[in-house]
Amino acid sequence: MKILLLVVGLVMTMGAVQAAHASSGITISSPTLVDTMGHPISGLGVGQEVGIQSVLENHGTSNQKFSYIVQVLDGNGVSDYFGATSASMLGNQTFTATQVWIPKASGTYTVQVYVWDSLASALPLTDVIQKQVTVS
């Protein structure tokens, strides 16, 4: 419940969010779906392990801590999965982050990826990027 409230708060204050991370220097790529070996996949099935992968880049010159966050929402907007990876990047460094999700039911899902400075402080460093996926 707490996680959902944080995300709702993030959406409601998007103007403030954009100002907060406009100078962060962190960018995130649109998520790609990969298998357990890191190869891109196009079709998803129930019970299949799927990696949700994005490339993060620190365009700044100093060390930047971060949390790569993945949330998967079902067709009703209910969180089906929430996971995060926390680390830090040196200036001008690129980092490929992946979270593994296992769909439990068929349907259309919304995958959301974004970066905060940490899970504890929840200062957004990027916008939320969404991708629709279908599980058969």
Give the residue-averaged pLDDT of 119-132: 93
CA distance 100 to 83: 8
Work out whether the CA dihedral 51, 78, 116, 111 comes out positive or negative.
positive
Give the predicted TM-score (pTM) of the model: 0.82
Q: Please state, in angstroms and rounded to a whole number, the distance separating the CA atoms of residues 33 and 129.
A: 14
Residue 9: the pLDDT is 34
Mean pLDDT, rounded, of the chain = 85
Q: Which two tokens stand for residue 132?
A: 């629709």
- Which class is domain 2-135? mainly beta
Percent of the chain with pLDDT over 70: 83
Strands 107-116 and 79-89, sheet pairing: unpaired
80 SS3 class: strand
